Structure 1
Amino acid sequence: MSLRGFSTLNFWADDVAAAAVWYSQFLGIEPYFERPGPDGAPAYVEFRIGDYLHELGIVDSRYRPTPAANHSAVTGAAGAVMYWHVDDLAGTVDRLLSMGAAEHAPITARGDTGFVTASVVDPFGNILGIMTNPHYLEVLAAAKTA
C-alpha cells in the first residue's frame, strides 16, 4: 500500500500556548489534545479539523528534527506546503492577515479550472497553504453519497 491519505500535519512554535490560542481563534475550536513538556507548559497540542477530521498538531520548537546531514546542499527553503481547501479563499486570506499572518504567496489561479492557491506565514513561522479545490469538493460529494 502506498500513501493512503493525509494523517497529521505538524507546525512548530516557540510558544505552543500562544500558538494554540491563535489557531483556536482562527479555527473556532479548541485543541482536543494537549501534552505538557517537562516544564509543565504545553509541548504539543492537536486540533481535529475539516470534513475528514484531519489532525493539525503544534509542537514545541525544541523538538524540531535536525536537518539531514546533506541538508547543506539545499539552497533556500526545503519542504512542502500543505494546502487546505476553503470555501472563501479571499475572505480566509483577509482574516489570516488581519490576525497577524504575513503573505507568503498571493492568491494565484492555477489555470482556468477553479484551482486557486494562496499561502501565509503564521505568527510562529509556519507556512499555511489554503486553496479552492474543485477536486476536493468532488471527492467530498462522492463520499457523502456512498
Structure 2
Amino acid sequence: MPIRTITVPVKDLDAAKALYTRLLGVEPYADAPYYVGFRPEGGPELGLDPHGDVAAGPVVFWHVDDIAAEVESLLAAGATEERSIHDVGGPLIATLLDADGNRFGLYQGPTA
C-alpha cells in the first residue's frame, strides 16, 4: 500500500494555501473551504484540512481498494479506530491509531 496523501490540519486555510503553494511550486488542484489539495510532481498529494486536529499534526493516508476490509484487518492486528469510515464527498476515509497512539488514515477513492 503506497502512501499517496498527507493531510495537514490548519487553522488559517488561506495563509496555509499561500505558503504551501510557494513551498510546493504548484497551484492547488482542489480549492474548497473544506479542503485544499496539491499534487506536486513526484510526490504524494498534500491536503490542507481546516477541520483537522492541529495539535495532533499531519495524517498520512494509505490508499486502499476495500476500506472496510482493511479497517477490519488492521483492528484485528492491534489498531484502534479513531474515526470510523465516512464519506467525504465521494471518497471514503477512516483514521486509526497504532498501539502507541500514532494516527494514520485509509482512503478509498470513489467507484465509477
TM-score (norm. length: structure 1): 0.39
TM-score (norm. length: structure 2): 0.50
The structure in which a higher percent of residues are strand is 2
Q: Relative contact order, CA 8 A, sep 6+: which one is greater?
A: 2
The structure in which a higher percent of residues are helix is 1
